[in-house]
Amino acid sequence: MKYILCAAAACCLLLGCSTGTVDRKPKSLSSYDPEAKALVARMTLEEKIGQMTQPEQGPVMASPGDMQKYFIGSVLSGGDSDPVEGNTLEAWTDLYDRVQAEAVKTRLGIPVLYGVDAVHGHSNVLGAVIFPHNIALGCTRDPGLVEKINRITAEEVRATGIQWTFSPCVTVPQDIRWGRTYEGFSEDPDLVATLGEAAVRGLQGDLGDPLSVLACAKHFVGDGGTAAGTTARPGAPAGKDARLWLDQGDVQVDEATLRRVHLPGYVAAIRAGVGSIMPSYSSWNGVKCSGSHRLLTEILKQELGFEGFLISDYNAIAQIKPGDYKTSVEISINAGMDMAMEPTHYRAFFDTLRELVEEGRVPVARIDDAVTRILRVKFAMGLMDKGRSQLADRNLHQVFGSDAHRAVAREAVRKSLVVLKNENRALPIPKQVARIHVAGRSADDIGNQCGGWTIRWQGQGGRVTPGGTTVLAAIRSAVSPETLVTFSPDGAGAEGATIAVAVIGEKPYAEGVGDRDNLGLDLEDRATVANLKKAGIPVVTLVISGRPMVLGDVADRSDALLAAFLPGTEGKGITDVLFGDHKPTGKLSFSWPRANGQLPLNIHTPEERYDPLFPYGYGLTW
């Protein structure tokens, strides 16, 4: 059965590739080498190293003159690195303009690349459209839609001036206990490759277009295949936080498996012309990816022909040889790393790399190659064009968070919704019923709908951003004027209603914090569904989560069961399906387990052990 479903999914991918997308070959980045190499020839060693250095905006802007002293070539805002004035569109735009104005004061006036984690919309900024996370988009099997979503994301990012997003994530999660599972499109490498390529096309388009942003495929390579351990997370004090860890772990597979399962997304991203790639914190058979010459230079740059530049993850270089930063920098740069994300230790990186070059431990030729790669991208993006303003185009503010953008997000929500169960024709719900009782802690919570990487790095519950619609509000707006909609967080008071809708699942989390050994639903959620069942009415259960959950008795107590994963701000996409305005089309992008003891479980599990509650590719319609 598993292999039949996989074959059917492959057919859907082929159909998706032939409709809604355009096959176009981007201009080679190396074609900009004459300009890039001419500029490199004019640069001092310090100016070159500055192009390779990426601090966080807060520390570098708090130190007057550092942008010029260290010739900074790139700046980032991490998940919680916001403007001091707040997270408004205006504040972000002002911050970008301040940073860029400082950057061009250097001798050569080279603009900075400003990077941010816009992983499901411009999700650090209040009022941005927050799209479903990748795990949900994988359920759409729609590369055209994914391309459109990323095109809108690029436009909203550009509205703040920023020109680079650390996206798409083309990981292939093999163990859903990993807290970053929702950042992956699927457990199937073919689907990841198809949708990852579409995402790159959407973000970059014509890289020189002022409405495009630089994409960054991550995390190279195998971050979704790390072996489960129960030791502390890398970098944690000894004896602290000893529990299940998958994040930043070790991928213990041979090269053939690494290529078959984890590499296809990068092959596709390079085919789409991706201009940057981020190596993973994780290791491959004990060797940190950020320090592997085999992975970064031999496979990625030489074999696959990647012409862009490599950017390390947040403070990742120091993990290569803990306690010996200088050797860590030497290993990483010689392995092929081109730019170092050093949020607060940018001065140490600058001084250390200069020493390594002066001592002959890092060849000047390696520095020149790295800087050429960075500059060829800047030339391709038009950042080096004479007379072109480097300040933000504030005319784009008028489309930021617009109704047109939200309409695409709503489409994405309804196309990603997966109906797992529908007994006694519980769905679709007639809009004219007398009373609908809505329950559950996620029913009226935009923060829970959006999940991690939303305003805050780890996400948070509550009204985290203006705009958008919760499930409860969407239900109230969808039903007839005569229908009464009541609500209780715990499912109490459902007696006498025509039907109940429970909205349950996970609270927001991101990397590290989200690693979890037990994927069972919380007692609070199970009690909510049990309370509704006691009322003797049909129960429709909607699961909002970053991965498939172990449902237990909730599946049996629900007449209908739907997986929304993390749908983002546009809850009306859910009610589009609940009330029958659109038929459900979503198909699972991950296998859904029966019990914790089955994990890890995916399409690569041997046939005799593959016994999910709902298989990969499953999804009902009517």
Please give the residue range of the domain that contains residue 463.
Answer: 403-609
Find out whether 283 and 249 touch, Cβ atoms under 8 Å: yes
3-class DSSP assignment, residue 420: strand
Q: What percent of the chain has pLDDT over 70?
A: 94
pLDDT in tens, 478-500: 999 999 999 999 999 999 999 99
Q: What are phi and psi for residue 319, nearest 5 degrees?
A: -80, -15
Confidence check: pLDDT of 504 > 50:
yes
pLDDT at 235: 57
Instruction: Please indicate, yes or no, if residue 337 is contained in any of the structural domains.
Output: no
pLDDT in tens, 335-356: 999 999 999 999 999 999 999 9
How does the average pLDDT of the chain come out, rounded? 94
Q: Report the pLDDT averaged over residues 176-186.
A: 98
pLDDT at 14: 33
pLDDT at 251: 97
pLDDT at 243: 75
Question: 251, 317, 313: which is closest to 511 by C-alpha?
Answer: 313
Instruction: Please indicate, yes or no, if residue 354 is contained in any of the structural domains.
Output: no
State the Cα–Cα distance between residues 481 and 485, nearest whole angstrom: 10
Instruction: Please indicate, yes or no, if residue 141 is contained in any of the structural domains.
Output: no
pLDDT at 236: 57
pLDDT at 567: 98
- How many structural domains is the chain composed of? 1
Buried b (16+ CB within 10 A) or exposed e, 340-349: bbbbebbbeb
Threshold 0.85, pTM exceeds: yes
**What's the Cα-to-Cα distance from 251 to each of 174, 262, 287, 562, rounded to whole Å?**
11, 10, 9, 33
Confidence check: pLDDT of 10 > 90:
no
Question: Where does the pLDDT of residue 123 fall: very low under 50, low under 70, confident under 90, or very high at 90 and above?
Answer: very high
Residues serving a catalytic function are 313, 511
Find out whether 329 and 353 touch, Cβ atoms under 8 Å: yes
Query: Could you tell me the CATH number of the domain that includes residue 437?
Result: 3.40.50.1700
pLDDT at 229: 81
Confidence check: pLDDT of 17 > 50:
no
To which H or E segment does residue 354 belong?
helix 346-358
Instruction: Please indicate, yes or no, if residue 158 is contained in any of the structural domains.
Output: no
H-type alpha helices, 221-285:
255-257, 264-271
Question: Where does the pLDDT of residue 24 fall: very low under 50, low under 70, confident under 90, or very high at 90 and above?
Answer: low
pLDDT-wise least confident of 8-12, 91-95, 518-522: 8-12
pLDDT in tens, 240-255: 555 788 999 999 999 9
Instruction: Please indicate, yes or no, if residue 224 is contained in any of the structural domains.
Output: no
Question: Where does the pLDDT of residue 19 fall: very low under 50, low under 70, confident under 90, or very high at 90 and above?
Answer: very low
State the Cα–Cα distance between residues 75 and 104, nearest whole angstrom: 13
Place of tokens 């500055």: 50
State the Cα–Cα distance between residues 314 and 352, nearest whole angstrom: 17
Instruction: Please indicate, yes or no, if residue 101 is contained in any of the structural domains.
Output: no
Instruction: Please indicate, yes or no, if residue 466 is contained in any of the structural domains.
Output: yes
Instruction: Please indicate, yes or no, if residue 496 is contained in any of the structural domains.
Output: yes
Sequence-distant (6+) residues with CB within 8 A of 485 are 435, 436, 437, 438, 472, 475, 476, 479
Find out whether 177 and 601 touch, Cβ atoms under 8 Å: no
pLDDT at 231: 57
Find out whether 424 and 538 touch, Cβ atoms under 8 Å: yes
Q: Report the pLDDT averaged over residues 153-167.
A: 98
pLDDT in tens, 301-316: 999 999 999 999 999 9
State the Cα–Cα distance between residues 361 and 357, nearest whole angstrom: 6
DSSP string spanning 156-192? HHHTTT--EE---B----S-TTSTTGGGSS-SSHHHH
Question: Where does the pLDDT of residue 543 fall: very low under 50, low under 70, confident under 90, or very high at 90 and above?
Answer: very high
3-class DSSP assignment, residue 563: strand
H-type alpha helices, 42-188:
45-51, 57-61, 66-69, 89-103, 134-138, 143-158
To which H or E segment does residue 353 belong?
helix 346-358
